[in-house]
Amino acid sequence: MERTARDAIGSQVSIENISKAYGTVLAVDNVSFVVGKGEFVSLLGPSGSGKSTLLMMIAGFEMPGSGSIRVGERDITNVAPNKRGIGMVFQRYALFPHMTVAQNIAFPLKMRGATRAEIDRRVEAALALVRLEAYGHRMPSQLSGGQQQRIAVARALVFEPPVLLMDEPLGALDKKLREEMQIEIKSLQQRLGVTVIYVTHDQEEALTMSDRVAVMSNGRLVQIGSPLDLYEQPETPFVADFIGKMNFLRGEFIGGDEQCAVIGLPGDVKIEAQGLHGTAAQFATGKPVDIAMRPERLTLHRRGLGGDSAIPGTVETAIFAGSFHTVFVRVEGAADPVHVQLPASGLGVGYGAGDSVDVVVDRGAVKVFAAEV
C-alpha cells in the first residue's frame, strides 16, 4: 500500500451550500468549501458547532436539507453510505469483537467481493502499514486502545478509499498516546496520499495534524485556512479565542488605519496596532474595540521601564510549565488577568505576586476587532 505522491489515491471533496436542520434548529448553515486531493482538513469547533453533523452528511449517514456533496466528479449527495466508497474511523473503533484482527480488516474487502488471495495480500499490507504485522490472529479485546485504533485505521484504508473520514478518533486515548497517534496518522496519510476530513474539538490536535483547518461555530463555517494563518491572522474574536491562547482587552479607537492604528485603554494608556477586522464605520473615533494579544508575544518590565505605550499592571501569580513561565498580570479595566508567557530561563525568573510591572507588546502582534456591544 506504499505510494508516491504521483500515485496518491485521494480525491477532491466539494461541499456546496450544505444545510441541515433538526426541527427549528439549524445544525449546519449553508457551508461551502473544497478539500483538495490528498489534503488533510480538520473540522474544528466546540460541541454543537455542526462539525460532526457535516461529517455524517459526507459519510451518508445524514441527508442534507439542501446543497450538494461531490467526491471527484461524482455527486454523492443522495448515494447510500455503502455505495460512496468512503472510509470511516470512529472514536470507539467499532471493531467486531467476535472477529480476529485479520478478519476485521478483511471485512470491507469481503463485502466488495475480493478474492481470497487479494484479501490475504491486502490484509498483510494493511497490518504492515500500521506496524502490527504479528497481531492478525489476536482478538480486539487482546489489544490496547492505541492498537485497536490502528486496526480501525487499517480496516478503513484496506480497500483504498479516495476519502477517509475520522470522527474524533483519538478521544478515548490518554494524552501521551493521543499525541503519538496524531503523528502516526498524519505520517500515514502523507505516505498514502488519501484525502482526510477529520473532526475534533481539540485545537492543538487540529493544528498539529492538518494542512488546513475549518473552524465552525453555530453551524457556520467561520474561517478556513492553514494552522499558521488561523493562529497569526484570525478573522473574528471567536477564532482568535478558540485557536491557541489569547488575551482580550476592551478599548476605544482613537485613529489611524490598518498599517498603524492607535487604541486607547483604561488608565490613559495608548498602544499602536496593525490589522483591523471590521468596517470603516466600526472604527470611527471613539468607537469601542477589542484588542487581542498572544501571551508569547508579550514581554514584561519593571514598572516605569516599559516605555510610553506599556500597559501598567500588578502580578497576581506566576506558574512554571516546563519550557516557559506564565505570569498573570492584573491591569486596569480588565475582568481577567493578562497572561504573559516568558521563557523558562532568564526573563521568566523573578516575578512574583504583588510586583508592579509594565506589559509591552509589539504593534504587529495586536489584532483589533470591532467590539460587540
Task: Compute how many other C-beta atoms are within 10 angstroms of the C-beta atom of residue 157.
Answer: 25
Quick one: pLDDT at residue 6?
40
Residue 79: band (very low, low, confident or very high) from pLDDT cuts 50, 70, 90: very high
What CATH number should be reported for the domain holding residue 119? 3.40.50.300
**What percentage of the chain carries pLDDT values higher than 70?**
96
pLDDT in tens, 225-239: 999 999 999 999 999
User: What is the reported pLDDT for 308?
Assistant: 83
Q: Is the pLDDT of residue 67 over 70?
A: yes
pLDDT at 5 over 50: no
Q: Tens digits of per-residue pLDDT, 110-157?
A: 888 889 999 999 999 889 888 889 999 999 999 888 888 888 888 888
233 and 296 co-located in one domain: no
Do 179 and 75 belong together in one domain? yes
Which residues touch 178 (CB under 8 Å, ≥6 apart)? 170, 205
Domain boundary, last residue among 192, 220, 238: 238
Mean pLDDT computed over 47-67:
95
287 and 177, same domain (yes or no): no
**What is the DSSP secondary structure assignment for residue 284, as one 8-state letter?**
S
| Per-residue confidence (pLDDT) for residue 153, from 0 to 100 | 85
CATH number of the structural domain spanning residue 326 = 2.40.50.140
Does residue 297 sit in the same domain as residue 229?
no
Asked which of 194, 210, 238 is the last residue of a domain, the reply is 238
CB-based contacts of 42, cutoff 8 Å, min separation 6: 197, 198, 199, 200, 205, 206, 209, 210, 212, 213, 214
Where a domain ends, among 238, 262, 281?
A: 238
Q: Is the pLDDT assigned to residue 9 strictly greater than 80?
A: no
pLDDT greater than 80 at residue 173:
no
Which range among 2-11, 269-278, 303-312 shows the weakest confidence by mean pLDDT? Answer: 2-11
pLDDT at 3: 46
159 and 136 housed in the same domain: yes
Looking at the structure of the chain, the number of domains it has is: 2
Q: Confidence band (pLDDT; 50, 70, 90) for 94?
A: confident
Question: Are residues 355 and 208 both part of a single domain?
Answer: no
Judge if 302 and 356 occupy the same domain. Answer: yes
204 lies in the same domain as 267: no
With a CB cutoff of 8 Å and minimum separation 6, the contacts of 351 are 300, 315, 318, 325, 327, 357
CB 165 within 8 A of CB 86: yes
pLDDT recorded at residue 93 = 64
**Average model confidence (pLDDT) for the chain?**
89
| pLDDT for position 199 | 94
The closest of 128, 134, 107 to 191, measured between CA atoms, is 128
Other residues' Cβ atoms within 10 Å of the Cβ of residue 26: 16
What's the confidence (pLDDT) of residue 74? 93
176 and 60 part of one domain: yes
Q: Name the residue range of residue 63's domain.
A: 5-238
- Extract the C-alpha cell encoding 259: 498599517
Task: Give the pLDDT score at 213.
Answer: 97
Instruction: Quote the pLDDT of residue 50.
Output: 95
**What is the mean pLDDT of the segment spanning 302-315?**
91
SS3 131: coil
Do 77 and 187 belong together in one domain? Answer: yes
Q: Are residues 11 and 156 in the same domain?
A: yes
pLDDT confidence band for 280 (50 / 70 / 90): confident
Query: Mean pLDDT throughout 322-336?
Result: 90
pLDDT at 33: 97
Q: Are residues 219 and 80 in the same domain?
A: yes
